[in-house]
Structure 1
């Protein structure tokens, strides 16, 4: 458990443990999903694509830490870590994993590295601009870097907020592709 003072408020970073914390992750996910964020706010607020279930979050947490940021016992941010072994558990993410199979990073095929997928990261709108995304990734890295060389995820190009935030957190674009409707960037953070 890592306490941190951001703008004079205490924020605790640690893996999610309870059903209540997982439910709060799902509530934050729902509030920031593409379907919930008005189009006119998507450019400056960002948005999420994938949706998880309580069962899937708990299954992921049994494999790898799902780091949360807590303020006064409320989940205000999260970073989901997904092992590659989950590639077929969320049908909407199968195309992403198929694209990962085509990517090279620093002269090696991505699948030659032991990597974890940045399964999704989100910070409550009331707490944005405090560097929490970077901290969430850093806390995850601290917990898994002994087992993985990289963290890999994809970001739709039009989600400029997410692209900028990931670049600030040390991610770099390894590849890009178009899925027939949108342009995506595959980004990598080296551990």
Structure 2
């Protein structure tokens, strides 16, 4: 992972982020390619990315002026209009996280995240995660993510490499997902 810069996204990065995102959408991948991870939901356009970045953060990993990875984060309030996220938030009172209901935490949404295929396994995911945590650490004490249950590479990356805790499986509109949680700052491995 030489010469990788982790930083907040700029408007000039949005076309590259969108291209990377769309290249990794589940609808654009073969069954074999999906085993290497995929994204489930598309972005509308540059304005959508700008709104996400303004709300909380879009972080990029850049190498030689090329975006090779990104991670987005939004506030719970921003996400109230998205049916899937609204449903997940309705489960918070019943999800225990370090001995308390998830609803007791001031949390944010982590994701989507994507690393270009050639860069996967090189530490970029961890670098993006640390850069994001540096942006949000003073405002939140927990982060929440979700992964569709057949995206095993993403699930392993987030639980094994980033130490996120699998909190619950649930069904929404005929698909099954896992809710993941993590403390901010992250707790040391036990």
TM-score range, shorter chain: 0.7 to 0.9
Contact 2:55–2:78 (CA<8 Å) still a contact in 1?
Answer: no
CA distance in 1, matches of 2:181, 2:66: 29
131, 145, 163: which one pairs with 2:123? 131
What is the match of residue 51 of structure 1?
42
What is the match of residue 187 of structure 2?
none
Note closer, same or farther for the CA distance 1:57–1:180 as it changes in structure 2 (3 Å cut): closer
Note closer, same or farther for the CA distance 1:110–1:137 as it changes in structure 2 (3 Å cut): same
Question: Residue deviations 1:153-187, cap 9 Å, x none?
Answer: 00112111001110111101011112353321100
- Once the two structures are TM-superposed, the CA of residue 92 in structure 1 deviates from its matched residue by 5.3
What is the match of residue 181 of structure 1?
174
What is the match of residue 5 of structure 2?
12
CA distance in 2, matches of 1:92, 1:31: 23
What is the match of residue 140 of structure 1?
132
Indicate whether 1:122 and 2:114 are aligned: yes
- Once the two structures are TM-superposed, the CA of residue 85 in structure 1 deviates from its matched residue by 1.3
Note closer, same or farther for the CA distance 1:108–1:86 as it changes in structure 2 (3 Å cut): same
Note closer, same or farther for the CA distance 1:126–1:61 as it changes in structure 2 (3 Å cut): same
TM normalised by structure 2 equals 0.88
User: Paired residues, what number?
Assistant: 182
What is the match of residue 67 of structure 2?
75
Aligned alpha-carbon RMSD (Å): 1.7
What is the match of residue 165 of structure 1?
157
What is the match of residue 3 of structure 1?
none
5, 24, 35: which one pairs with 1:32? 24
Query: Which runs of 5 or more residues in structure 1 are unaligned?
Result: 1-5
Contact 1:177–1:185 (CA<8 Å) still a contact in 2?
Answer: yes
Note closer, same or farther for the CA distance 1:101–1:68 as it changes in structure 2 (3 Å cut): farther
Contact 2:84–2:172 (CA<8 Å) still a contact in 1?
Answer: no
Contact 2:92–2:101 (CA<8 Å) still a contact in 1?
Answer: no
- Once the two structures are TM-superposed, the CA of residue 40 in structure 1 deviates from its matched residue by 2.1
CA distance in 2, matches of 1:100, 1:47: 26
CA distance in 2, matches of 1:100, 1:50: 22
Contact 1:50–1:92 (CA<8 Å) still a contact in 2?
Answer: no
TM normalised by structure 1 equals 0.87
- Once the two structures are TM-superposed, the CA of residue 99 in structure 1 deviates from its matched residue by 4.0
